[in-house]
Amino acid sequence: MNELLTSLITFVVPVAEKLAFVLPAFVLTVLVFNGVARVFRIPGLTGDPIPVSHRVAVIGLPRSGKTTLITALFELIQRGSDIPNVRLHGLNTISTVNRYIASLNAGEKIGPTKEKDTFVFRFSYSKRRGLLSRLYDIEIADFPGEYSEIISHNLEERTQVQRETTRRDSNESALIVAEDLEFTLFNKEFFSWVASSREYLFLIDLAAIYSGESPRRSVADIIGRIRTSWQVIEDSATERGIGSTYNRSVHIVFTKTDSIVSVYAAKGNLYSLLEEKADSSANDASGSIDLKYAVASAGSASNLTVLRTEQQELLSKLKNDNDDIFSDLIQFFKNRTKDLDVTYSSMTIEDLKGGRLGVRRILNLCLP
C-alpha cells in the first residue's frame, strides 16, 4: 500500500507541477486570443468585434458650409464605392442624412445649424488589412457656427458672443448668465467633443472673405481666429489629460471654391481683391466684370459643372495664390501638428471621378 501511494505521489507531483505552469499559460492564451478575435474580424473566428471610436470635429464660422460639407461626405459614403460595408447608426442619422442629401441634389441651401439642431452623425465601417479587419465607429458632430465663434474669441468677446447667441436661441433673454472662460471651455459639450477628437476640419469660406468690403482684413481675422482656436484646443486637451494634439490630423478646407474660379475665369486674381483701393474689376471678351460681384454670386447653380482642362489650370493658379495668402496659417499648423492637409472644395464643381470637388479627398483623409 505504501509503495502504491509512493508511486502515485511520484507520478502526480511532476504532473501537477507542469500543470501549475501550463494551465495559467493556456488560460492567458485563450483570453488574449479571444480579445484579438473581438477586436479584429478574423475569418473563421467567432465573437463580435469591439469598434474603435473615431471622432471628427468640424469647426467653422456661421454659414461657412459645415452642414453642407458633412452632407456631401455622406452622399459619397452612401454610394458605397469608396467605403464598402458602411452602416449608418440611428433613425435620426438615417433620416437627417437622406433629407439633407435630397436638398443638396435639388440645389437648395441647407440652413445653418442652430443650438437646438446640434447633431452627431454616426456610421461604422470595416477596414481590412490582409486577413484582419477592424471595425470603426465614426462620429461627425455638426455644431452651430456660433460655437466656433466663441472658441476663437478672447474672454470679453467670448462672453458677449455667448450672450448674443443665447438671446437669439432663447425666449428667456432676461435669464442670461455670463460664463467665465473656464466654464465655457471645460463644461460645454462642444469643447469636450473638440478636445477628444482625432481629426479637425477647419472650414474657411472663400466667398465670404473675398466678396467683403475688406478682404485683407477678413484674411487676417480668420487666421487669428483659427490660431486662437487651436491654442485653446491644445490647452483643453492638456487640462483634460488626453494627450498631445501634435499627433492629431488637421485639415484646412477652403469652401465655395467655385466663387473664386469665376474670378480667374474673368482674368482677375485674388491679389486684386485684397487691395481695397484697387479697381476690383477685370476685362474679358464681353467687357468689364466686377470681381467681387462674381465671387458673391457664384455657386447658385443646382447642377454640377464638370471640371474641364481649362478649369483645372485656373484652379491650380487659385490654389497657388490662396496658399500664399494663407501661408502664415499653413506654416502655423506645420509647426504644431504632424499631419496637415489643405483642400479646396465646392458643391457645384464635379471632380474627375464624378464627385463634388474636394469631398472624396476629405473623406479619405478623415477616415482612420
Q: How far apart are CA 239 and CA 233, in angstroms?
A: 10
DSSP per-residue codes, 74-129: HHHHHH-SSSSS-EE-SHHHHHHHHHHHHHHHTTPPPPPPPGGG-EEEEEEEEEEE
Q: What are phi and psi of 215, to 5 degrees?
A: -60, -40
- pTM of the predicted model as reported, rounded to 2 decimal places: 0.75
- Start-to-end C-alpha separation, the chain: 69
Burial (CB count <10 Å: 0-12, 13-18, 19+), residue 330: middle
Neighbours of 149 (CB within 10 A): 20
Name the amino acid, one letter, at 125.
Y
Q: How far apart are CA 202 and CA 66, in angstroms?
A: 9
Q: What are phi and psi of 36, to 5 degrees?
A: -65, -40
Give pLDDT tens digits along the chain (368 positions). Answer: 555 555 544 644 454 555 455 555 554 554 545 555 444 444 444 445 677 889 998 988 888 888 899 999 999 988 877 787 788 888 888 888 898 888 888 877 777 666 555 678 889 888 877 667 788 899 998 776 666 666 665 444 544 544 554 454 444 333 333 333 333 333 456 777 788 888 999 999 998 899 888 899 999 999 998 998 898 888 877 766 567 788 899 999 999 998 888 888 888 889 988 875 444 555 544 334 576 776 766 655 556 677 777 788 889 999 999 999 999 999 999 999 989 999 999 988 888 777 889 999 999 988 88
